[in-house]
Structure 1
Amino acid sequence: MDNTVVIEDIKKMCCVLPVGADTADESPPASLMASNQSKGPSTMCPAWKPLLLIVPLHLGINQINPVYIEAFKECFKMPQSLGALGGKPNNAYYFIGFLGDELIFLDPHTTQTFVDTEESEIVDDQTFHCLQSPQQMSILNLDPSVALGFFYKEEKDFDNWCSLVQKEILKENLRMFELVQKHPSHDSIPTALGL
């Protein structure tokens, strides 16, 4: 669904069954998913597959709508944030933070030499550093089509992010995206077998 993160779907994809369980269906048992909703430590998944979540957004028509600016900046403050992809017409950037109403970005088009870390014990870390300094641009110059990136190494990271989103992002009437527990009943998702 557009601009919607469904908690149940993420938990099903990232929750790994214990060793020895039936692996024909990789999603966790329904009883585990139902008990997971209570948020207690005893209801956590047995194991969690790390997740990189990209949330594509459209925050205006021709330019970014100023009502989204504070919520957009709040996303950078979250410990799970990996930044945002976006830019302005004909320029794509990787945004890593902000300073006031200026976004700090790197140019993702700079290529680096490949380093094979398994080939030798000594690794030249020069390729892991940016040769160009980070740059700034006004947040009002941002193209409205952006994608936020988040990483959850463990289930508690995802649960913490959900709490932060509820507290900091969804408090506004004009929301950048939705965070829902389950798919709405009117939402039918076709499967490969049920088309």
Structure 2
Amino acid sequence: MDLAFENYLAQDSSSIEPDDIPKTNNPVWILGRKYNAIQELELIRRDVQSRVWCTYRKGFVPLGRPQLTTDKGWGCMLRCGQMLLAQSLLELHLGRDWFWHSETRDPTYLKIVNRFEDSRKSPFSIHQIAMMGDSEDKRVGEWFGPNTVAQVLKKLVKYDDWCSLTIHVAMDNNVVIQEIIKLCEKGDTWKPLLLIIPLRLGLSEVNPIYINGLKKSFEIPGTVGLIGGKPNQAHYFIGYVGDEALYLDPHTTQKCGSVKDKLTASEMEIDETYHQKFAARINFEKMDPSLALCFICKTRTEFDELCARLKSDIISTGSQPLFEITETSQTPWRSCPSTTTSQSQHFPRTDLTSNSIASDSTSKHNTDDSEEDFEFIL
């Protein structure tokens, strides 16, 4: 057995109740939605189950050299990147009020899931992400960090017109408003934005001064979660309760298959493997400090509202801000080892290295416009 949820997949629903959501008076936040843990437990689980759950797979078309037919042991952050992008597409094309059930055959939903299947022809498959990682100096089979998977997804979405999404990766802890407007606003039209903000919030664990900001990020409309994890294991975070973050865990190995139009029993069975009813929990202080906050803005108005909420709820609250928002780009701040006495005196860094999920070297990404040569595989 692998980790976490294989026990859930194997157990009978009438057996021991899983300890996914604690019985508490604290609110439960799932991707911008507030729930009561006691009165709305099944609704919480329905919301969790409606997210696209991407996990390790086995038996797919060989990938790279050596010829890999599973991503077990190396693909967890790639799968988290898939979950992030899938949630963004659900939000964009179906809306936050949409819920999945076992009989769902909505053609838009099926188009989304098909894009993440383990095929060389699927635009956001493990094959496309792993091969595109070569442009970020990551060979097939190597671990990714949050920044690397963000840079790869940024390139891949340009090759899928249907997804109608553009990605901006905000480097150096700075969201530059004019850069994003230039990227997304073309005349009177706005191309929907997935904003990814890579951060480094400590050395080996998340510094407690940043935890309140992380919690607030799950409450803001337009959040599509957080990619990060704990040391050596990547997770896709979708909310929190109390002092614990809620996440979907990719560390379950499932068989490869296709949902297609979900007309046969086998296609329905594969669709079930993309959904997990029970979230897992981890204390914020135990999370790996290398992570990325993610938000979707379908319109210019939503982008303006997001910036206002980020400023009021996260940046200007009196606690240590997670990042900056500026109108125009500024010279990135760099600390001097001889004068830096405490990380809490400065903005979090994205270019530190440690034994984390997979340390990203971001020195080569001084801007969000790096476009190394790459090949889109078919």
Change (3 A) 1:72 1:155: same
Aligned residue for 1:77, secondary structure, equals: coil
For 1:105, give the aligned amino acid. Answer: Y
Change (3 A) 1:113 1:78: farther
In 2, Cα distance between the equivalents of 1:101 and 1:108?
Answer: 22
Percent sequence identity is 40
Match of 2:259 in 1: 115
In 2, Cα distance between the equivalents of 1:90 and 1:168?
Answer: 31
Selected match of 1:170 from 308, 315, 319: 315
Contact 1:64 1:142 in 2 (8 A): yes
Q: If each structure's helix is expressed as a fraction of its own residues, which one has the higher value?
A: 2
Q: Deviations over 1:94-152 (max 9, x none)?
A: 111000001111113455743224x97xx845344226x21111111011111111111
Selected match of 2:200 from 39, 58, 63: 58
Selected match of 1:85 from 227, 230, 238: 227
Match of 1:16 in 2: 186
Match of 1:33 in 2: none
Aligned residue for 2:218, secondary structure, equals: helix
In 2, Cα distance between the equivalents of 1:128 and 1:48?
Answer: 31
Contact 2:247 2:279 in 1 (8 A): yes
For 2:181, give the aligned amino acid. Answer: K
In 1, Cα distance between the equivalents of 2:321 and 2:306?
Answer: 16
Selected match of 1:153 from 298, 319, 341: 298
Contact 2:209 2:319 in 1 (8 A): no
Large movers: runs of 4+ above 6 Å? none
Match of 2:281 in 1: 136
Q: Deviations over 1:32-66 (max 9, x none)?
A: xxxxxxxxxxxxxx111011111100011121111
Contact 1:67 1:174 in 2 (8 A): yes
**Aligned runs of 1:68-83 on 2, under 5 Å?**
68-83=210-225
In 1, Cα distance between the equivalents of 2:237 and 2:179?
Answer: 27
For 1:144, give the aligned amino acid. Answer: P
Match of 1:179 in 2: 325
Structure 2: give runs of 5+ residues left out of the alignment.
1-170, 333-365, 371-378
Superposed CA RMSD: 2.7
Aligned residue for 1:8, secondary structure, equals: helix
Contact 1:84 1:95 in 2 (8 A): yes
- The number of aligned residues is 161
For 1:146, give the aligned amino acid. Answer: L
Contact 1:114 1:127 in 2 (8 A): no
In 2, Cα distance between the equivalents of 1:58 and 1:72?
Answer: 12
Offset of 1:16 from its aligned partner? 1.8
In 1, Cα distance between the equivalents of 2:238 and 2:327?
Answer: 29
Contact 1:6 1:182 in 2 (8 A): yes
In 2, Cα distance between the equivalents of 1:168 and 1:61?
Answer: 25
For 1:175, give the aligned amino acid. Answer: P
Aligned residue for 1:67, secondary structure, equals: helix
In 2, Cα distance between the equivalents of 1:113 and 1:160?
Answer: 40
Q: If each structure's strand is expressed as a fraction of its own residues, which one has the higher value?
A: 1
Aligned residue for 1:97, secondary structure, equals: strand
Q: Which has the higher contact order (CA 8 A, sep 6+)?
A: 1
Structure 1: give runs of 5+ residues left out of the alignment.
18-45
- TM-score using structure 2 length: 0.39
